[in-house]
Amino acid sequence: MRVVLNVVWLVFGGIWLALAYVVAGVICCILVVTIPWGIASFRIANYVLWPFGRTVVSRPTAGVGSLLGNVVWILVAGIWLVIGHIVTAIAQAVTIIGIPLAIANLKVIPVTLAPLGKEIVPSDRPFVTAYGAYRPS
């Protein structure tokens, strides 16, 4: 079922949303100081391409740097990407088939607003060790 949802997602919004993240990542990497945001943007683009079967967990070891970085991200790119997610979710929710896609679209918004200090892991193993690293079983 995950594969079917991911393919439908890819066709009806995933490609365009991932391209938006790639554009934001390229812009961030061109401005050398913002490379960490560019890497986070590429990581989210990968997640947005194939979201079903994966989830986002917070890293407890992320510190004040992640918090400040997320504030900068929200002001520069995060708000525009969130608007893209909301518009896409509204368009997807028009049909019954698109409702699960719209819900998934809204679930991506928290990582879009605060990408630093987050990790994307398979949804069947979403736990974090005491040191904040993902540990597969």
Classified as helix, coil or strand, 125 is coil
* CB 131, CB 61: distance < 8 Å: yes
Classified as helix, coil or strand, 120 is strand
- Tell me the β-bridge partners of 20: none
Q: For the CA atoms of 124, 131, 38, 64, what is the dihedral angle to 10 degrees?
A: 130
Element (H, E) at 121: strand 118-122
Percent of the chain topping pLDDT 70? 91
- Picking from 100, 120, 128, 127, the residue whose alpha carbon sits closest to that of residue 45 is 120
> What pTM does this model have?
0.79
Q: How far apart are CA 98 and CA 95, in angstroms?
A: 5
pLDDT at 129: 47
pLDDT at 19: 93
Q: Is the pLDDT of residue 132 over 80?
A: no
